[in-house]
Amino acid sequence: MEQWEFDSYGYVERFISKAGMAQKVAEKWTQEEADKVVRAICRAVYDNAEELAKLAVEETGMGNVEDKIAKINSKAPMIWNSVKKQKTVGILKRDEEKGLIEIAKPVGIVGALTPATNPVVTLMSNAMFALKGRNAIVFSAHHTAMKTGARTVELMRQALAAEGCKEDMIQILDRPDRNYSKMLMQRADLVLATGGSAMVDAAHRSGRPAIGVGSGNVQCIIDTDANLEEAVPAILKGRAFDNGMLCTAEQSVFVPEELVPEFLRIAKANGGYHVWSTIEGELLRQYLFKDGKFNQEASGKDAAWITEKLMLKTWPGSKVFLVPTRGVGPLDLMSREKMCPVLAFTPYNGFSHAVSMAESNLGVGGKGHSVSLWSNTPEHVEEAALKLAASRFVVNQCCALTAGGSFQNGLAPSNTLGCGTWGRNSISENLDCKHLINVVRVAYPLNKETPSEEEIWSL
């Protein structure tokens, strides 16, 4: 054992030991008891949205309080409404035809790594999913969001105590050290990694079952039959939300050539600033991308901050920079993910042309995540869905605010979005409580005749 392993083991083992003892008690919960606990921790975060939002912005220096409050106030009831209907304890299903009984059992102790970009709601949702399946969870928050993570966990632990449950069902490491996070991943029964690609790769190298999620780079295609008065404000709202940090936010938008003037007119009326000057466009590119990588100084900063930083001349009330592209994919850095309110836009001629350009952009980042489509032509929607490497295709909705689930669509409400094998992930859907249980199957013999060879090999 190396020195770092020796030092880390004792520290992390204290959390694992307490989690294990608490989880053994939780294994005996009924479905009703599990649901009461999950509702309690969700409500604890929901009722303290303003405090947690202010703390997150103060500590991380990213995003804005108003949108973080809105995120908590929307996600908490949405996720609870989704999980409360799901069965995660005892017998899940009896299939008389197949002679099968499915039974849910806990996975045990979940080790969860969480990002600075979403330091409250990711903890809340992952804790809800874990406890719904009678699992304990130990968090390792990003080092720039330790206080926010600790306060969020403290509120949830208080809710557990009020329900008469073991507080150690939810814990958080209180030392910002990568070695501790690494040891947590090695000691947990299951790892959840929500964050950058390096974190996800580390989770998959931990030797434990891991569910990681990929980075975003949402491509948005506006079809010729789209309602621009509906589409453009929604796209800009999503791009500006929480200062552009959501992984589900639209990053590049493809606009029919003949609709570009109308697109820009509506965009301007909704806080979009057209960066028509090549000098300003180059300033943005050089600042946002240092040596080909996104400049973290700009993460979660609003348009006013960027305007002042670069001494740009924008319109009053500008919330999103609209930057014309010089090409797609590797030909323009603006084709990549930008963690601030900057939206690349590219004219196209023919829907297949737009799909092809979106594919090029996904080639430089964001494969497997999400695509936004504004179209009333089902054939075009299906063309894009068949061609592009994405796990979610959100149609005629603000992708930033609905790809993670919504009361208006059928996607599972979550803050951990799987990106399939394209994003080196083990799931290609939104994480929820079904991913944090083991399902065992009891198989009875079937009173059936073996099919003939002719029946087996026939098409």
Catalytic (active site) residue 42: no
Q: What does the pLDDT read at residue 261?
A: 98
Is a pLDDT exceeding 90 seen at residue 255?
yes
Task: Name the pLDDT band for 195 (thresholds 50, 70, 90).
Answer: confident
Domain architecture of the chain: domains with CATH: 3-213+428-442 (3.40.605.10), 218-410 (3.40.309.10)
Task: Name the pLDDT band for 122 (thresholds 50, 70, 90).
Answer: very high
Is a pLDDT exceeding 80 seen at residue 57?
yes
Q: What does the pLDDT read at residue 204?
A: 83
Catalytic residue among 247, 398, 419, 433: 247
3-state secondary structure the chain: CCHHHHHHHHHHHHHHHHHHHHHHHHCCCCHHHHHHHHHHHHHHHHCCHHHHHHHHHHHHCCCCHHHHHHHHHHHHHHHHHHHCCCCCCEEEEEECCCCEEEEEEECCEEEEEECCCCCCHHHHHHHHHHHHCCCEEEEEECHHHHHHHHHHHHHHHHHHHHCCCCHHHEEECCCCCHHHHHHHHHHCCEEEECCCHHHHHHHHCCCCCEEECCCCCEEEEECCCCCHHHHHHHHHHHHHHHHHCCCCCEEEEEEEHHHHHHHHHHHHHCCEEECCCHHHHHHHHHHHEECCEECHHHCCCCHHHHHHHHCCCCCCCCCEEEEECCCCHHHCHHHCCCCCCEEEEEEECCHHHHHHHHHHHHCCCCCEEEEEEECCCHHHHHHHHHHCCEEEEEECCCHHHHCCCCCCCCCCCCCCECCCHHHCCCCCCECCHHHHEEEEEEECCCCCCCCCHHHHHCC
Task: Name the pLDDT band for 346 (thresholds 50, 70, 90).
Answer: very high
Does the model's pTM come out above 0.75? yes
Lowest mean pLDDT among 91-105, 187-201, 358-372, 414-428: 187-201
